[in-house]
Structure formats: C-alpha cells, structure tokens
C-alpha cells in the first residue's frame, strides 16, 4: 500500500483543527484542494477516515481514530529518513533545529521572527538550518519530548527534569475582546477588572504553560471564571473571542495579529511576563545551543518592537 505523506500531514492538521476551512487556511490551500487530498488518502488506506457536516466541521470515524494514532509516527519517520539521506549526501551538514511555536507560526510576528532568526543563523560559521513548526496548543511538551521539535517557545518555564528552560525576555500582556464587548473601545482597563471576565481556556493545555494567560498574578486561579474552548490555534481562539464566548490574554507580540471582529485592550497595572525557550535536557548539540542564543537576541528585538508600539496605544486598535 502506498501512502502519500503530504496527504497524511494534511490529515494530521485537519485532526487538530476539526474544520476543513480552518485546516485549509493553515495549509494555504483551498477547501476543495484539501478535500481532494483527504479523499486521496482515504482511497490509499481503503476506508473512510472522517465525516464532514455542512459547515465544514469534521469528526473522525473509528478507522480515522486508529489511523491518527500512527500518523505522527509516519511523518516523524519520513522526516528522519529525509535527514538521514541529506546527511549521507553531505556528511558535514548539521541536522536542522526545529523550532516549535504554539498555535500557528504563519502570522505576522512569527514571520518576522522567522526571517530574523534565519538571517542570523545564516551569518554563523556553523551550517545551521532553522525549521519553524506549528504546534497544537494541547501538545507542546509532547512534541518536544518525542523529538518532533527541538526548541519550544513557551510563556512559562517548566519544572520537569526532561527539559531545560532558557530565558528569552519579558513581554507585555494585552486583553483580546470582541468588538461588541463592554470593554471594546475603551483603550485600556484595569487588569483586576479584566480578570473578572470569563477567560477562555483549553482544559487539555498544560496549565503550567497558561498561568500568565489566566492572570494568576492578579487573582487566585481558584476564583477565575474559566470558559472551556477546544481552540488549538491562534485563529480558532480569536474566533471564539469574536463569538463572545469569552476573552483572552496574549503577549503583545501575538496580539498584533488579532483577527476581524476582535479588539485589543491595554491591561493597566499589569506587570510584564517572561517568555522562555524549552529544549530537551539531553540535547547539547552545538547547533541547538547556537539557535537558543540567537533566539534570545532576535526575540528581544521583536519584543522591544512590539512594546514600543503596543496595540491600542493611540486609542484602541481594531486589527
């Protein structure tokens, strides 16, 4: 049986998004093109893998659930085979360093960060390649521990002996609200007042990574009003905010890409939070250590840029 890994990769993204339109946008495809890929995969496997309703939302069949368990392994083996072939063809070349970013990396701040990091890596004497990988909100530590990524951008350090935490710099946090929310149009609001709002959270996301987003430095987590969401990407989270399901708190770096029907709100009286890079404790490859150092440098530049002109600084910004 022949299985097209490009189709498998598209299926994996569709599993994460749960919606054809969202998955197609993330893959830079049209919905019909993504539909053809999934149909081709189903023909190759010989069974139906998912069901789709009129809105484009998807649910996995029993066969789809079984196939999804092995999809990541297939992709990981494909990447390993590709790396091995390239290393054999060019023994002096180093393996790429895979940099994982939560949600999706193809948004303006991540694109700028990627360009700066790749440019800085290209100036090194070492042969270093940096690959950006979008990581579902619910799977960051899993991706890192399983070797699907080498470095993870994180809003928090972790007390886990599998990983090392590398300090990158501080970032301001801003609130994200729907344009119909009572705080919309105000420009700024006290963080203590904003913390009383229902805040979106995904129960499957490791809570250690979300303390800053839940404003636990403003009031105890036990008193927070948390509203469950299944959002796995930044776009899906913003869509839930736009639908008035709750509000969200993001680093100003990411808030620059707030979607339609969403506004940013300056959170007054709120201190900055630290951003981190996590990597496997046993990974001491020179290229990984170089990328960590370069990442700190380019991240500080990016954070300085976003803090110099925070969203909504001249009144509230509708983005």
CA–CA separation, 216 vs 221, rounded Å?
A: 5
CA–CA separation, 164 vs 150, rounded Å?
A: 11
Highest mean pLDDT among 36-50, 197-211, 242-256: 36-50
- Beta sheet of 262-268, edge-to-edge order: 188-190, 262-268, 173-178, 248-251
Give the count of alpha carbons within 13 A of 63, CB side only.
9
What φ, ψ does residue 66 adopt, rounded to 5°?
A: -65, -40
Q: What does the pLDDT look like over 47-57, one tens digit per residue?
A: 999 998 888 88
pLDDT above 50 for 1 = yes
Average pLDDT over residues 213-236: 87
- 277: which strand partners? 153, 166
- Cβ atoms of 254 and 174 within 8 Å: the answer is no
Per-residue pLDDT, 309: 46
Residue 89 — very low, low, confident or very high, per pLDDT cuts 50/70/90? low
Nearest CA among 88, 42, 55, 71 for reference residue 136: 71
Of 111-115, 131-135, 256-260, 307-311, which range is least confident? 307-311
Give 39-105 as a DSSP string. Answer: HHHHHHHTS--EEE-TTSBEEE-HHHHHHHHHHHHHHHHHHHHHHHHHHHH-TTPPPPEEEEEES-S
Q: pTM value?
A: 0.64
Q: What does the pLDDT look like over 274-290, one tens digit per residue?
A: 889 999 998 888 888 88
Tokens describing residue 230: 């299944």
CA–CA separation, 215 vs 285, rounded Å?
A: 36
Residue 317 — very low, low, confident or very high, per pLDDT cuts 50/70/90? very low
Express as a percent the part of the chain with pLDDT over 90.
27
Of 88-102, 241-255, 274-288, which range is least confident? 88-102
pLDDT above 50 for 311 = no
CA–CA separation, 183 vs 246, rounded Å?
A: 12
**Residue 43 burial (C-beta neighbours within 10 Å; 0-12, 13-18, 19+):** exposed
Q: What does the pLDDT look like over 136-153, one tens digit per residue?
A: 878 888 889 888 899 999
* Cβ atoms within 10 Å of 314's Cβ, excluding its own: 9
């Amino acid at each position: 049986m022949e299985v097209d890994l490009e189709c498998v990769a598209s299926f994996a993204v569709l599993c994460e998004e749960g919606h054809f339109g969202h998955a197609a946008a993330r893959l830079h495809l049209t919905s019909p093109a993504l539909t053809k890929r999934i149909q081709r995969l189903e023909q190759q496997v010989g069974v139906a893998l998912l069901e789709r309703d009129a809105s484009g939302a998807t649910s996995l069949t029993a066969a789809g659930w079984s196939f999804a368990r092995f999809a990541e392994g297939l992709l990981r083996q494909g990447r390993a085979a590709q790396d091995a072939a390239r290393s054999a063809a060019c023994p002096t070349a180093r393996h790429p360093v895979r940099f994982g970013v939560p949600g999706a990396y193809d948004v303006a701040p991540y694109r700028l960060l990627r360009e700066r990091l790749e440019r800085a890596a290209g100036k090194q004497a070492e042969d270093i390649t940096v690959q950006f990988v979008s990581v579902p909100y619910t799977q960051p530590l899993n991706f890192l521990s399983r070797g699907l990524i080498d470095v993870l951008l994180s809003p928090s350090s972790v007390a886990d002996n599998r990983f090392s935490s590398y300090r990158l710099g501080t970032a301001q946090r801003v609130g994200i609200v729907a344009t119909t929310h009572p705080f919309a149009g105000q420009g700024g609001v006290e963080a203590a007042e904003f913390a009383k709002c229902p805040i979106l959270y995904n129960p499957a996301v490791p809570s250690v990574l979300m303390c800053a987003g839940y404003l636990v430095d403003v009031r105890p987590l036990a008193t927070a009003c948390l509203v469950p969401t299944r959002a796995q990407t930044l776009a899906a989270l913003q869509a839930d905010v736009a639908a008035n399901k709750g509000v969200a708190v993001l680093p100003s770096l990411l808030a620059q890409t707030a979607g339609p029907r969403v506004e940013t709100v300056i959170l007054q009286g709120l201190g900055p939070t630290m951003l981190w890079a996590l990597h496997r404790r046993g990974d001491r490859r020179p290229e990984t250590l170089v990328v960590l150092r370069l990442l700190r440098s380019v991240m500080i530049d990016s954070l300085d840029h976003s803090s110099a002109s925070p969203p909504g600084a001249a009144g509230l910004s509708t983005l």
